[in-house]
Amino acid sequence: MPKIEAHEEAATRNQTVLSNLLKNYDTSPDDFASWVVTVAFYKALHLVEGIFYMDGMLSQEKRPFHSKDHKERNQRLKDIKKFGHIWKNYRPLFEASMVARYLFDPNSGAEQANLNTYLSGNSVYGQFINHHLRQIEKSFDVKKADYSQCK
């Protein structure tokens, strides 16, 4: 099972790629939207797995948790009340990345011609990066502060 440091490193690598994509995003948002959403989702995934790890280590059992796949991760975020605010921000990233990667909307079950038919390129930066991803980053930072105090 990856430790917290591995998830932080993966999130940092994804942020490096995301930052490079965003340098060109303003000139052609529709061309970069799929990659921006996908990389933002994978950064969020590693932040969520880091949160799960730290949450498990902060529990009475002191056992880290790691999801085995998207289904298990999504179910945990949905079912455990303390993760509800994270699910609210993770779900849109997950769904948009499914459209970007597979041209399939998991929420409606509908095929999509491309990500641009699912959302506008201009909403990617404001909605997905500046809001949803930022909220997950904040949740990670809060959990990390708690975790650091208890180490």
pTM of the model: 0.93
Q: What is the pLDDT of residues 28-61, one digit of tens each?
A: 877 888 999 999 999 999 999 999 999 999 999 9
* Interval 101-145: pLDDT, tens: 999 888 888 888 888 878 865 578 888 999 999 999 999 999 999
Mean pLDDT of 77-90: 98
Domains assigned to the chain? 4-146 (1.20.120)
pLDDT at 122: 58
Q: Output the six-digit token pair for 106.
A: 């998991």
